[in-house]
Structure 1
């Protein structure tokens, strides 16, 4: 029995590591892909190609979600979750298709004519991917947090730990809202032109810090709204009202 448990623990940790580290690596690649004017085209396309390769693996690992789409009942929360997931899939598909068409390095050998309009759609999709991916993380935050805490051997019921999470969430939300203004994200998301470009000759690290903060805004808001919705549903359930 001891041998069995000893062999099981590394397997569990490897599984949790995969669930935590794979999305984290994908986020890092997405952030690096946004730094086009710092990395230039070849690294940009290489990072993007690796990102989509990991995305395919992520979809394969979670393929049961697609099989279960036609199973079970749909309440309002499930409809919202499915719609948000489909919007991410559509956004990612658009980003992938435009990436291949406008490629000047990795897929340049394909006989596909480029298009300046597709290039603009590519950038527009990339900015929205940051937002929709943040929403995706917000929808699965409880699972990710549980995986991370299990990996670190911590308990989520710890009040000190919960207070730390709340404080970090509030700090990231405030910084994210400020970073929206700094990076001109609202303008980019509405498909409008902006002459504001990040000066990589002056600083590099703050660029990634601002985009990471922007990413956390939809994640925190989505997680909070879903938690409130779930709490309201439990409070209004017949079993609770009759208690």
Structure 2
């Protein structure tokens, strides 16, 4: 039970928390930013070690639309994490200040660009595995199926999508994802909590869209398989 909770709930939650904290660069300053980033990569290594069997099974089994989508998501996430890791080393000014390789603005912008994409893809990644997360939570809290709770969660999902869309616009994320230069930096002297609330809403909203998109692909694949069997 403890391992299930740690692997399925605590570890992903810890990684997400560190990632969002790392985005608050202008509030934390460089030192804490690099510490949180280093811890994030440490947890990522742990996460990959736990789920190493997934990589070994890539050549096994049949590929449908959903599985192709999942592999594409993981590939894009891996590429961005590599870019994020390499640029982190190159521009480090605290933990690796004694061997700082460069302070080139383009490298710094590439670092931020990959970081924002990592947030988006991790949100998609969470959505693809949301059923496992809910199953782990149900096991932990010994929840039984409930129609009322299901409708409450669906209503919450709609709210998360709406709040996520609003927060996406407030933070100007679209510009950041297009590698465009933006002067829209959050003013932490005015408020701090809303910054994290906006990013939480964005991650939750994208995860919801990802979850239902993957559910749609799974249903479409099932219907296609049934129609083929019916035609034989």
Shorter-normalised TM range? over 0.9
- Take 2:229 and 2:57, find their aligned partners in 1: how far apart are those partners? 32
Seen in structure 2, the aligned counterparts of structure 1 residues 13 and 153 have a Cα distance that, compared at 3 Å, is: farther
**Structure 1 moving runs of 4+ over 6 Å:** none
Unaligned runs of 5+ in 2: none
- Take 2:96 and 2:56, find their aligned partners in 1: how far apart are those partners? 32
Q: Which residue of 2 aligns with 1:197?
A: 185
Q: Which residue of 2 aligns with 1:179?
A: 167
* Residue 136 in structure 1 maps to residue 92 in structure 2: no
Seen in structure 2, the aligned counterparts of structure 1 residues 84 and 228 have a Cα distance that, compared at 3 Å, is: same
Q: Which residue of 2 aligns with 1:89?
A: 78
Q: Which residue of 2 aligns with 1:121?
A: 110
- Take 1:195 and 1:113, find their aligned partners in 2: how far apart are those partners? 23
* Residue 33 in structure 1 maps to residue 22 in structure 2: yes
Q: Note the 1:1-243 alignment, pairs <5 A.
A: 12-110=1-99, 112-155=101-144, 157-238=145-226, 242=230
Contact 1:234–1:240 (CA<8 Å) still a contact in 2?
Answer: no
Three-state SS of the structure 2 residue aligned to 1:18 is helix
Q: Deviations over 1:44-102 (max 9, x none)?
A: 00000000000000000000011111222222221111111111111111101100100
* Higher normalized contact order (CA 8 Å, seq sep 6+, divided by chain length): 2
Q: Deviations over 1:117-144 (max 9, x none)?
A: 1100000011111100011001111111
Seen in structure 2, the aligned counterparts of structure 1 residues 172 and 57 have a Cα distance that, compared at 3 Å, is: same
Contact 1:124–1:188 (CA<8 Å) still a contact in 2?
Answer: yes
- Take 1:71 and 1:229, find their aligned partners in 2: how far apart are those partners? 20
TM-score by length of 1: 0.90
Task: Please identify the structure whose Cα radius of gyration is greater.
Answer: 1
Per-residue deviation, 1:165: 1.0
Per-residue deviation, 1:239: 6.7
- Take 1:14 and 1:58, find their aligned partners in 2: how far apart are those partners? 13
- Take 2:188 and 2:100, find their aligned partners in 1: how far apart are those partners? 34
> How many residue pairs end up in the alignment?
231
Which stretch shows the higher mean deviation, 24-33 or 104-113? Answer: 104-113
Per-residue deviation, 1:116: 1.7
Contact 2:92–2:100 (CA<8 Å) still a contact in 1?
Answer: no
